Amino acid sequence: MKIFVTGGAGFIGSNFVHYWLREHRTDEIVNFDALTYAGNLENLRGAEGGKRYRFIKGDITDAAAIAEAMAGADAVVHFAAESHVDRSILGPAVFVQTNVVGTQVLLDAALAAKVKRFHHVSTDEVFGQLMLGTAEAFREDTPYHPRNPYSASKAAADHLVRAYATTYGLPVTISNTSNNFGPYQFPEKLIPLAVTNLLEGKPVPVYGDGKYVRDWLYVEDHCRAIDLILQKGKAGETYCIGGLTQDISNLEVVKKIIALLGAEGSAMQFVKDRPSHDRRYAIDWSKAKRELGYAPAHSFDEWLAKTVAWYRENTAWWQRVKSGEYQRYYREQYENR
């Protein structure tokens, strides 16, 4: 099988490329990525140079480049996106361009290329927020209620993907997944930001009261879920993929990381809250369990320890990532908060 991956130089995409080449020994991957601030070819060491992998630098909004690059693909796995809520609050325009227009360009190309499957990687944030202290969880039939520019752009993309299925018969699947963590995650997101700040002897900025809840999914469990969807999932279907069955607050996550690193108790700094900060996310992944046999391979604590160890062992990777553009972003995001 030949898979056309978008955004394969980012966090989840690069983990997926490694996963797929390892697990599917005869398949080929074309990785199409614009190499924005979040794209990093260093994430793909080990894949590059092999006969089954090819990288193409390009923008998913460029219809001609996409049509040429997608030719001959059996399946598309679409990761490319602007992915960070805080950046979407600072500047929403590029989110609409990449996440909405880019997805529509890909859908047109996928129709023309007659791909057998278009898998769209989406987020649980399209559903909006749940309240603390409830047992509610997002399901495939939960109504959409996005509350920030990032989640609104992903919601728009999801609607377009479904519209191409019903209108033109494109064989699509969608996964709405919770917060991923693991190797190669850009240290603007909570877990790698916390780990790398602590390794640098800096405090972890905690938004608001820290009593926000995310459903944490280890990136390799996510890659395996996509594999299961491609093998066993039905065209036209959506699958909610999560990693937890119990709530863990941001405060608890940061405390666990502090304990794993043996850092000081004063390593947290409460800062001004994010506007329209979603209180709680939780995923009911029982459909994926029932229909695909999906379940996380390990507990959150085990995966978190493995992740912290990876950042400890790969200081050169994150130190390079945290130089340059990252410094400007960090000042804009955290100064005077």
Nearest in space to 201 (alpha carbons), one of 269, 252, 249, 253: 269
Q: How many residues does the chain have?
A: 337
The single residue of 28, 53, 82, 150 carrying the catalytic annotation is 150
- CB burial of 19-43 (b: ≥16 within 10 Å; e: otherwise) equals bbbeebeeebbbbbbbebbbbbbeb
Nearer to ligand NAD, 121 or 206 (CB): 121
Among the listed ranges 58-66, 164-172, 226-234, 326-334, the one in contact with ligand NAD (CB under 6 A) is 58-66
∠ CA 219-318-282, nearest 5°, is 30
Q: Which does 102 bind (CB under 5 to 8 A by kind): ligand NAD, ligand TYD, none?
A: ligand NAD
Nearer to ligand TYD, 27 or 333 (CB): 333
Q: Which does 250 bind (CB under 5 to 8 A by kind): ligand TYD, ligand NAD, none?
A: ligand TYD
How near is the Cβ of 36 to ligand TYD at its closest, in Å? 17
C-alpha radius of gyration, the chain, whole number: 19
Query: Six-digit token pair at 193?
Result: 């930001």
150 counts as catalytic: yes
How near is the Cβ of 63 to ligand NAD at its closest, in Å? 12
Query: 18 to 37, contacts with ligand NAD by CB under 6 A?
Result: 33-36
The single residue of 28, 33, 124, 215 carrying the catalytic annotation is 124
Residues lying near ligand TYD in the complex (CB under 6 A): 85, 179, 189-190, 193, 205-207, 212, 214, 250
218 counts as catalytic: no
How near is the Cβ of 62 to ligand TYD at its closest, in Å? 27
Interface pick for ligand NAD out of 3, 4, 5, 12 (rule CB under 6 A): 12
Would you tell me how many other CB atoms lie within 10 Å of the CB of residue 312? 13
Interface pick for ligand NAD out of 3, 4, 5, 7 (rule CB under 6 A): 7
Nearer to ligand NAD, 125 or 263 (CB): 125
125 counts as catalytic: yes
Query: 221 to 260, contacts with ligand NAD by CB under 6 A?
Result: none
Q: Which does 221 bind (CB under 5 to 8 A by kind): ligand TYD, ligand NAD, none?
A: none
Interface pick for ligand NAD out of 5, 13, 76, 115 (rule CB under 6 A): 13
How near is the Cβ of 98 to ligand NAD at its closest, in Å? 4
The single residue of 125, 215, 227, 284 carrying the catalytic annotation is 125
How near is the Cβ of 195 to ligand NAD at its closest, in Å? 15
Among the listed ranges 11-19, 68-76, 304-312, 320-328, the one in contact with ligand NAD (CB under 6 A) is 11-19
- What are the residues facing 213 on neighbouring strands? 249, 280
Q: Which residues make up the interface to ligand NAD (CB under 6 A)?
A: 6-7, 9-13, 33-36, 38-39, 59-61, 79-83, 98, 102, 121, 123, 154, 177, 179-180, 186
Known catalytic residues are 124-125, 150
